[in-house]
Amino acid sequence: MALTIGIPKELQSDEYRVGMTPAGVSILTARGHTCYIEAGAGLGSGFSDAEYEQAGARLAYTHDEPFRRADLVLKVQRPTMDEIALMRPGQTLMSFVLLASMHESHRRALLERGVSVVAFELIQSPDGRLPVLYPLSQIGGQMCAQVAAQFLQNNRGGKGILLGGTAGVPPADVVIVGAGVVGSSAAEAFLRNGARVILMDRDLHVLQNAHECFQGQLTTMVSHDFNLQRVCRFADVLVGAVQISGQRAPIIITRDMVRSMRPGSLIIDMSIDQGGCVETSRPTSHDQPIFVAEGVNHYCVLNVPGVVGRTATHAFLNAAWPYISQVVEEGLEAASAANEGLRHGLVVREGSLLLDIGR
């Protein structure tokens, strides 16, 4: 059955990704499906309207049109309240939605629309990985080092520290809490920049793997409270990279721990899109990324990979394409029945919440 697919422009500040590339549109339209893309939606990722038209897409000149026409809406960021109001019963949304950290009123409004929702971040492969989230987690982790390098500078309110130090001057001390994809990618990037890195996790097996993978280039520690209190007192940079799939991130760095950090130190809370793992964290944006609490700089940007739009869009859609294609060709019910990994990502079916969000 031919579908109409809507690809709106992302509205979040400094979000340059797009829900489908011209190459993907070309494949979909060649299969008989109709794609409506909002004018300008791909510009941040380097895709012109002309490229989409050449691929067979039809341009939409208002933000509501892709929603109004679509059977399937493809987005990157979860819909805003205004976008939810544009949706109708029977539609399917495929997007990163992060339901556990969504405001209750926002979540209720989404359920009331009677739509079905596939959360890209919860699609699971047979080995337990999250294949669509994985490349964006890698990108976010890699970006931690360039963020830290910038906000350790004096002119950005930092301590005036060079990550890698120099002859006769020691490098920065970086503590990363959470040794998953984000944490491991961040560790790799910081090591490339010459920082001294401590990688922490509660899972000793994960730490053993990290120790072997990094061949002793970093220090591993178990992230119980005593060790967390200890490292906070000397860390120049503290990266929070804690995730529980489908649930709010736990608070593991308390206000007292933040208070013990040296003035001008930097916290990068990469768990902020799931509520944050630092008690003093609150969401920020790329245009105002930093705030100060307890004398410590906090970087809590929700969409860190959003400003490397072209790289992030290609990486995300490379991973998401098989699932999008299956939903388009087979329909949501048949595709989710046949694909267990996709079924993990089906969090709302026609207005009914299927996900236990841990509340």
Query: Is 46 in contact with 309 (CB distance < 8 Å)?
Result: yes
State how far the Cα of 43 lies from the Cα of 282, in Å rounded to an integer.
29
Are residues 55 and 141 both part of a single domain? no
State how far the Cα of 124 lies from the Cα of 137, in Å rounded to an integer.
14
Are residues 126 and 224 both part of a single domain? no
Query: In terms of C-beta density within 10 A (0-12 exposed, 13-18 middle, 19 or more buried), how is residue 168 classed?
Result: exposed
At 280, is the pLDDT very low, low, confident or very high (cuts 50, 70, 90)? very high
Q: Indicate which CATH number applies to the domain containing 299.
A: 3.40.50.720
Are residues 153 and 302 both part of a single domain? yes
Are residues 106 and 227 both part of a single domain? no
- What is the secondary structure of 179-226 as a DSSP string? -SHHHHHHHHHHHHTT-EEEEEES-HHHHHHHHHHTTTSSEEEE--HH
Are residues 207 and 187 both part of a single domain? yes
Are residues 157 and 174 both part of a single domain? yes
Are residues 186 and 204 both part of a single domain? yes
Enter the tokens of residue 205. Answer: 């097996």
Amino acid at 92: T
At 243, is the pLDDT very low, low, confident or very high (cuts 50, 70, 90)? confident
Are residues 257 and 156 both part of a single domain? yes
* Residue 150, domain member (yes or no): yes
Show the domain range for 331. Answer: 4-130+309-353
* Residue 358, domain member (yes or no): no
Are residues 274 and 137 both part of a single domain? yes
* Residue 185, domain member (yes or no): yes
In tens, the pLDDT along 140-175 reads 999 999 999 999 999 999 999 999 999 999 999 999
Number of domains in the chain: 2
pTM score, whole prediction: 0.92
Query: Is 63 in contact with 38 (CB distance < 8 Å)?
Result: yes
* pLDDT of 358 higher than 70: no
Neighbours of 78 (CB within 10 A): 23
Pair type for strands 219-222 and 290-293:
unpaired
Enter the tokens of residue 168. Answer: 């006769």
* Residue 52, domain member (yes or no): yes
